[in-house]
Every structure is written in C-alpha cells, then in structure tokens.
Amino acid sequence: MMATHAELEARISDWRGYVLRRQAISAGDVDELEDHLRDQVADLQATGLDDEEAFLIGIKRLGNLDAVSREFAREHSERLWKQLVLVPEASQGASPWPWRELSVVLALAVGAGVAVKAGLTWFDADTFARNLALLVVPFVGAYFVWKRRLTVRQTAALLGPLVVLAVVANVYPFDQGGSTDVLVALHAPVVMWLLAGLAYVGLRWRSDGRRMDFVRFTGELVIYVALLALGGGVLVGLTVAVMQLVGTDAEPLVARWVLPFAVPGAVVVAAWLVEAKKDVVENIAPVLTRIFTPLTIVMLLAVLGALAAAGGLVEVDRDLLILMDAILVLVVGLLLYSISARDPLAPPGLFDALQLALVAAALAVDVVMLAAMVTRIAELGSSPNKVAALGLNLLLLVHLGRAAWLTGGFVRRRRAFGTLERWQTRYLPVYALWAAVVVLAFPPLFRFV
C-alpha cells in the first residue's frame, strides 16, 4: 500500500513540474490545481478506484492542459507577455527562412534611415520637425502590419489617417517660426504613435488587454532605445576620439551620415527586440518603476516648493509652463508603465500607497499649473500655445483625478485593481484625439500664426 502511494506522489510531482513549465500558469495556480487534483483523486479512491486509475481520471477531468493554459494566459495577459512570441518560435522550430524576420526588420530600419536622411536633405528645419514622426513611425508600423499579417483593407485603414497627417504637415501655409508650426511638430508624433499602436494590436483596439500590451510595449521600447543609444554613443564617441588622435575629424561625417541612419534605425530595431525578446527586460520593468516612483514624487514636491517660493504665478514664464507639462506627461507615462508591470492580483501594498502619493503630487502640480494658465489667458488673451497647454492640462486633470480616486479605493481594498487598469486603457485614446485636434484644427483656427 505504501509503495503504491509513493508512486502516486511521484506522478503528481511529475505532473506538477510539467504544468509549471507553462508560463501562463504561475506556481500559485499550480498549488491550487494540485489541491484540486488531490481532492479529486481522494474522492475517486473512496469509490474504490486504485491510485493509478484515480490519478488518470483526475487528470482527464482537469482538461486538456493546452486549452487550460491558454485560458489562464487569456486571463493573465501579463504572464502571456513572456509567452506570446516565444511559443510560435519554438513550435515552428526549423522555419524555412530563419533570417526572414531579421531581414524585414533591417530593411525597415534602413528605410527609416533613408527617409530621415532624405528629409534632412530636402526639408528646411521647421518642415523637417513637422515631418519627423511621419518619417520614422510608419516603419515601426509597417513591421507590425507585416508581423500581425494585417489584410490590405486593414492596412489601407491605417494609411488613410497617415496621408491626411502628411498633407496637413506639408500643405498648411504655416508662418515661419509660428506657434502652430511648433504645436503640429509636437502633436503629430502622438497621433502617429496611436496609428502604430493600432497596427501593434492588429486593429483589435477595443480590447483593454491589447491596449495594456501596447503600453507595456511602449515602455520597453523606450528602455531598449535608451540602451541602444548608450551603447551606440560610447562606440561613436570612442571612434571619433581615435580618429581625432590620428588627425581626421570624423564629427561632420557622424553628424551628417551616421546619426540620421542610426537613430531611426535604432527605433525600428528596438521595436523588433521588444517584440522578440520581451523576457529580457521584463524583470527590470517592476524594478525601474519602484525606483523612479519615489524619485519622481521627490521631484514633483521640489517643483511645487519652487513654484510656491517664486510667488506670483502670472510671472511664471511660458517656457516653464511647457516644461511642467512635459514633467506631467512623464509622470503619466511612469504611472501607466507601473500599472502595466504590476501583477493585477497582488493585494494592495506600500508601493500602491506610494503610487497614490505620486498621483496626488502630480494632481497638485497640475492644479497649480491650471490656475497659472487660466490667469495668464484672462490677463493676456488666448494664443495657440496657451489653448493647447490648457487642453492638455485639463485632460491630465481628468486622468490623474480619476486615477487618484481609483487608486485610493484600491489601497483601501474597496475596489479591484482591474478598474484602475481599465481606466488607464480606456482613457488613452483621448490624448491621441486631442493631439489630432491640435494638428488638424489649430493651424486654421489661429490663422497659421
């Protein structure tokens, strides 16, 4: 009797190891399934079955492991993140063209480089700034169009807005050095990034989970681009230094030929790296958010203090307001990234309280900014810059306000983390829509000044 039970234990332990290899099923889930299996086996034994039979029937009742694992993956897409790409690669094994994806990526990277170089050669500085996103992002988008196997019709749906954007950026008669010119240059990338996101999610834009994946993708992309830039910078710097010692000035060459190709190329390659090698950076994401959340709180408090010390907010100059908007956008980015990296089932902890503090500090900064802006507009009248900044600050106010409310509810265990997550993913398109309004409507509204 003892011996047969030992055999049952061995089989359960084998099964456990086998299930644990599924990335979508965590160790806690396996504990839960094992508890279930053991109950089932005990009940079956009570009806007179032996260990072997009871085990086999118990396993069968649990269901096809592939299907169950897929169901777990659907529910826990943050675990699926690891698995998404690695599974097809492993199952394809000997792909007939192992270099195919790499060659597509390299071709697109070179394409982006050529586009940027052409833009630099033919456009003046302002036109180039308006077109920069149009020259780079379509190549990232094209990679996902290829990767997600979008149909011709779906691709055309993405190309439509792209063409509209290109026409607006180049046909509107902007005043030389006017503010609408700068506004378009700042907002066009946001609209472009939304289009890239649509390609990334394979046009399944209604899905909150896919939207969260895109947020994750964007965060990892920034990290990869930073890593590539760091490595590339060191390499180029050393090369230029050596050239200088032997009497050749390589700097003009680097500025005119290396950077225009290297920078857009790095963005495309980084997009591919994030897609293919997710799990390399994956473990860094939660660590990074934990480091930068407290640091950002300190920064926001310092900024608030400085604003208070400066006294009269009307004198706060325009550049400062723009800079503060950049800081707030950064905070929202950090917030999104932390939420995307968090395990949605973990109970609220210290870090969530910190996140609440971050959102509260950002809200305070936003309210101060809004007050300053409304005063400026009341005293000096409106301008495209002020209206664009006011609009962005109002959007941020709504986003942060609701996020603070939901985070507060989650920390006090009144709400599930899912509602907080959904609020972020549902609200994101609003930013892109606002950016589209700024790009399309602001120049004619303000007569292209």
The one among 29, 213, 325, 366 contacting another protein by CB under 8 A: 29
- Near another protein by CB under 8 A, which window of 62-70, 125-133, 196-204, 437-445? 62-70
The one among 5, 61, 204, 426 contacting another protein by CB under 8 A: 61
Nearer to another protein, 29 or 325 (CB): 29
Nearer to another protein, 372 or 420 (CB): 420
To another protein, the closest distance from the beta carbon of 69 in angstroms equals: 9
CA-CA distances (angstroms) from residue 225 to 105, 140, 174, 252, 274?
15, 13, 32, 23, 10
Nearer to another protein, 36 or 447 (CB): 36
Nearer to another protein, 71 or 317 (CB): 71
The one among 9, 32, 53, 279 contacting another protein by CB under 8 A: 32
Token pair recorded at residue 303: 């900024």
Q: Is residue 63 a contact residue for another protein (CB under 8 A)? A: yes
Q: Is residue 290 a contact residue for another protein (CB under 8 A)? A: no
To another protein, the closest distance from the beta carbon of 38 in angstroms equals: 7
Q: Is residue 39 a contact residue for another protein (CB under 8 A)? A: yes
- CA torsion sign, 112 to 118 to 121 to 122? negative
To another protein, the closest distance from the beta carbon of 56 in angstroms equals: 14
69-98: which residues touch another protein (CB under 8 A)?
71-72, 74-76
CA distance 357 to 293: 9
- The DSSP code for 254 is I
What is the crossing angle of helices 125-147 and 179-200, to 10°?
A: 10
# binding residues, another protein (CB under 8 A): 29
CA distance 135 to 110: 12
Contact 212, 428 (CB under 8 A): no
Contact 115, 139 (CB under 8 A): yes
> Residues near 156 by Cβ (< 8 Å), separated by ≥ 6?
none
The one among 7, 9, 14, 35 contacting another protein by CB under 8 A: 35
Q: Is residue 5 a contact residue for another protein (CB under 8 A)? A: no
To another protein, the closest distance from the beta carbon of 337 in angstroms equals: 20
Q: Is residue 102 a contact residue for another protein (CB under 8 A)? A: no
Other Cβ atoms less than 10 A from the Cβ of 198: the count is 23
Q: Is residue 415 a contact residue for another protein (CB under 8 A)? A: yes
To another protein, the closest distance from the beta carbon of 418 in angstroms equals: 4
CA distance 239 to 322: 37
Nearer to another protein, 136 or 215 (CB): 215
CA-CA distances (angstroms) from residue 45 to 58, 265, 367?
11, 63, 67
Q: Is residue 426 a contact residue for another protein (CB under 8 A)? A: no
What is the crossing angle of helices 318-341 and 384-411, to 10°?
A: 30
To another protein, the closest distance from the beta carbon of 68 in angstroms equals: 4
To another protein, the closest distance from the beta carbon of 45 in angstroms equals: 14
Q: Is residue 38 a contact residue for another protein (CB under 8 A)? A: yes
CA-CA distances (angstroms) from residue 410 to 32, 153, 332, 399?
25, 42, 18, 16
Q: Is residue 9 a contact residue for another protein (CB under 8 A)? A: no
The one among 8, 11, 12, 40 contacting another protein by CB under 8 A: 40
What count of residues does the chain have?
449
- Quick one: which of 108, 105, 203 has its CA closest to 158? 203
Q: Is residue 27 a contact residue for another protein (CB under 8 A)? A: no
To another protein, the closest distance from the beta carbon of 215 in angstroms equals: 17
CA-CA distances (angstroms) from residue 147 to 89, 106, 115, 140, 241?
13, 14, 21, 11, 40
Nearer to another protein, 62 or 394 (CB): 62
CB under 8 A, 24+ apart: contacts of 19-25: 19/65, 22/65, 22/69, 22/72, 23/73, 23/79, 23/80, 23/82, 23/83, 23/86, 24/69, 24/70, 24/72, 24/73, 24/76, 24/79, 24/80, 24/83, 25/68, 25/69, 25/72, 25/79
CA distance 350 to 358: 12
Nearer to another protein, 63 or 98 (CB): 63
304-363: which residues touch another protein (CB under 8 A)?
344-345
> Residues near 287 by Cβ (< 8 Å), separated by ≥ 6?
none
To another protein, the closest distance from the beta carbon of 407 in angstroms equals: 14
The one among 28, 96, 311, 312 contacting another protein by CB under 8 A: 28
Q: Is residue 418 a contact residue for another protein (CB under 8 A)? A: yes
Residues at the site binding another protein, with contacts judged by CB under 8 A: 28-29, 31-33, 35-36, 38-40, 61-65, 67-68, 71-72, 74-76, 344-345, 415-419
